[in-house]
Structure 1
Amino acid sequence: METQVKAIRIEHHGGPEVLKLVSVDVPGPAKNEVTIRQKAVGLNFIDIYFRTGLYQHALPHGLGFEASGVVEAVGADVRHLKVGDRVAYGQSPIGAYAEARNVPADRVVKIPKAVGFDEAAAMMLKGLTVQYLFRQTYRLQGGETILFHAAAGGVGLIACQWAKALGVKLIGTASTPEKAELAKAHGAWQVIDYSRENVVERVLELTDGKKVPVVYDGVGKDTWLASLDCLQPRGLMVSYGNASGSVEGVNLGLLAAKGSLYVTRPTLGTYVPTQEKMQAAADDLFDLIKKKKMHINIGQRFALEDAGQAQDALAGRKTTGATILTLD
């Protein structure tokens, strides 16, 4: 059965002004889909990359990859979900900025009672990102000292808490003293205010000259070289985002000169390719919430029609923690 809902669409690339609130038809779900009446939608830098055209998708299109809500209809071949289930997703096809939509069922997980809709929308993409970074890309054992850029952001505050739960000393970076304090309050061992301090020098001091075995860098171009300089010989540079622009023109000789370094450019989709792996990663995340070892900090809430303002705040580094669109 087809229903009509409000959704954000873009017809061409540009600034926040290209986001338009329109009415769209949501058909009944295909055999491998579920229809979700959404309660909250998570905002992420990747949404801005698609809006500006840094990442390409055929126009016109929606935006957003993570949300939470209630299952309204279930496709014929779907077995793990039923109407009325409380669910969330963090790795859907583009188009989460909507009141309701159809989503492939293998991208959707049930959320436990301990997790609210706002929390789920705020943490699925970000939390699953930290899960694959810390538990799969470079599997932290506990006892390591690591460097994590943008520690006061949505991903960063989850990373601070997860590192603490694992017994890992997380050195974060942040742009203001207030953001540095926020990251420390969420479990960062030390935070470097990069507007006032030299990141490489501080990492050397904090590690007694040993540097770190792994750097997690979602900032991209602006932090690339400094990140490499913070790594131990044979250390791993995990470049997982481009908040400051893409890393380009990489000189492989630099990796040799700086100590036979490794580099990976991972994405979440490769680490959770099946419904089983997606649910397992989500359960890892939900378990920390249930044990009260993690709290999701939602710094900002916006209405769906104010999605442009929300993206502007995110891009302008005016946000802390997660930003969500609420649909209730």
Structure 2
Amino acid sequence: MTIAVRIDRNGGPEELQLVDVQVGEPGPGEIRIRHKAVGLNFIDTYQRSGLYKLPMPLTLGMEGAGIVEAVGAGVTHLAPGDRAAYAGQPPGSYSEARVMPAQNVCRLPDAISFETGAAMMLKGLTAQYLLKRTRPVEGLEPGDFVLFHAAAGGVGLIACQWARVLGLRLIGTAGSEAKCRLALANGAEFAINYATEDFAARVKEITGGEGVKVVYDSVGKDTWDKSLDCLRPFGLMVSFGNASGPAPEFSPSILGAKGSLYVTRQTLFSHISSRERTQAMADDLFDVVTSGKVKIHIDQRYPLVQVQQAHRDLEARKTTGCTILTL
């Protein structure tokens, strides 16, 4: 038997319960992994609350790192004893051990710790596809302005650093002066406290009235409308989360009136839909982390037994950088 965190119905953090579960042998295309650390992400709260509907009972968690204990038939890129990390579906990483599909599991370089591996896979791969695969129709070149909301969060701090590596001029937003300072310390050229400033007006001021080529938005409802006003003609609005609630409905005619804008809703799991693409994106992430150009900030650690408090703190926006659950 092993311990896992399960919910039997949607609701608040109080629904997260520790249970004993039986972990069997991996089938074809699967592995069994024993976790050393597990990542915490906003998508976990969406699944817990019911914003994203999934069958019950449900073990949460979309990323983790540990040791491969066994592999099923057809798995050739991993072997028992390998250090490994992953971001992928189905959920289930809030556990001491699990059986899962091998497709999105990657060997973890020796230079990267288990804690860093658990913290960076979902958030780092998200930053990778946003900055390198989700680009405006006119492209992104060094010197271009981009706007990144929640710049002091797990994805945000990675994106601030990676954007600097790519030569992009990242304007970050955050909800406090302390978080703005953190974004600036990690590569954002400008940081706007959207709790005290009109971020759309400030973006126009920074860009000399032109606006940015792309907005990366994981906040949703609270930032959506003004984000459209931050874009230059033919700019791209990228939605990849709903921290404040789902983005409001809008008429496509608004996009024309605001400069023939583009809108896309992205999810990591479309980008890692094949073994080859997952590995290529992970290799890019591993390279930029092991080079020291991007550092993974683990600002909160909670024992697995304190998972309810971890969810409360995340939803209250008390966290910065990455958060992990330790085992």
Report TM bin, short chain: over 0.9
C-alpha contact 1:215 1:237 (8 A) present in aligned 2: yes
| 1:251 counterpart letter in structure 2 | S
| 1:102 counterpart letter in structure 2 | V
- Alpha-carbon distance in structure 2 between the residues aligned to 1:307 and 1:142: 41
Please report how far the alpha carbon of residue 76 of structure 1 lies from its aligned counterpart in structure 2 after TM superposition: 1.6
> Which residue of 1 is the match for residue 221 of structure 2?
221
1:161 correspondence with 2:171 = no
| 2:242 counterpart letter in structure 1 | N
User: Any stretches of 5+ residues in structure 2 without a counterpart?
Assistant: none
Find the residue that maps to 1:123 and give its secondary structure. helix
> Which residue of 2 is the match for residue 28 of structure 1?
25
C-alpha contact 1:218 1:239 (8 A) present in aligned 2: yes
| 2:110 counterpart letter in structure 1 | K
| 1:273 counterpart letter in structure 2 | S
In structure 2, do the counterparts of structure 1 residues 140 and 72 end up closer, same or farther at CA, with 3 Å as the change threshold? farther
C-alpha contact 1:114 1:289 (8 A) present in aligned 2: no
User: Any stretches of 5+ residues in structure 1 without a counterpart?
Assistant: none
C-alpha contact 1:169 1:188 (8 A) present in aligned 2: yes
1:45 correspondence with 2:68 = no
| 2:178 counterpart letter in structure 1 | E
Give the alignment of 1:1-328 within 5 angstroms.
4-138=1-135, 140-327=140-327
Find the residue that maps to 1:106 and give its secondary structure. coil
1:146-167 CA distance string (max 9 Å, x none): 0000000001000000001111
Aligned residues: 324
- Alpha-carbon distance in structure 2 between the residues aligned to 1:283 and 1:242: 28
1:51-106 CA distance string (max 9 Å, x none): 11010011111101000000000102111100111101111311110000011111
Please report how far the alpha carbon of residue 247 of structure 1 lies from its aligned counterpart in structure 2 after TM superposition: 1.4
C-alpha contact 2:224 2:248 (8 A) present in aligned 1: no
TM-score by length of 1: 0.97
Find the residue that maps to 2:59 and give its secondary structure. coil
- Alpha-carbon distance in structure 2 between the residues aligned to 1:225 and 1:17: 33
| 1:23 counterpart letter in structure 2 | D
Please report how far the alpha carbon of residue 137 of structure 1 lies from its aligned counterpart in structure 2 after TM superposition: 1.1
Find the residue that maps to 1:287 and give its secondary structure. helix
CA RMSD in angstroms comes to 0.8
- Alpha-carbon distance in structure 2 between the residues aligned to 1:67 and 1:45: 15
C-alpha contact 1:7 1:23 (8 A) present in aligned 2: yes
Matched-pair identity in %: 56
- Alpha-carbon distance in structure 2 between the residues aligned to 1:170 and 1:71: 38
- Alpha-carbon distance in structure 1 between the residues aligned to 2:312 and 2:283: 32
TM-score by length of 2: 0.98
1:9-29 CA distance string (max 9 Å, x none): 001111110000000001100
